[in-house]
Amino acid sequence: MAVVTSNDTLGTGRRKTSIARVRIRPGDGKIKINSRKLEEYFANIRQQNSVVAPLDQTGKRSQLDVVIRVDGGGITGQADACKLGIARALKKMDDQTAIGLRDSGLLTRDGRMKERKKYGLRGARRGTQFSKR
């Protein structure tokens, strides 16, 4: 677990059932996710680009180190949770970045969640199979 210093700025991101706790600090652009490099944790280029989108939007990718602890959900949900956490931490660090992040949709939480199963059905909406006899 990383030690919190006075230079750290924290942000929390959520998506579906994933939760990402993000810590950014001045540095040289290193991104660690669960003690692994970004490329190791997210092998897919689309997910890597999603995670670094807030840093690219503000132009601070090479100026900040990012440490993320993420758990729950799947890979895509974790990537989007990391994106929201980084955007929130950047906003907390510098309020001037909030306008650009908000215009790009990076500060908006995606509220879509899995719909609960209803009784009498096989899932949230799928009914039982019809039987003629």
**Per-residue model confidence as pLDDT tens digits over 32-82:** 999 999 999 999 999 999 999 999 999 999 999 999 999 999 999 999 999
Q: Is the pLDDT of residue 23 over 90?
A: yes
Phi then psi for 67, rounded to 5 degrees?
-120, 125
CATH number of 9-103: 3.30.230.10
Q: Is 17 exposed, middle or buried (0-12, 13-18, 19+ CB in 10 A)?
A: middle
| Residues written for the chain | 133
Q: For the whole model, what pTM was predicted?
A: 0.89
Domain chopping of the chain, boundaries: 9-103
Q: pLDDT at position 133, please?
A: 86
Element (H, E) at 50: helix 45-58
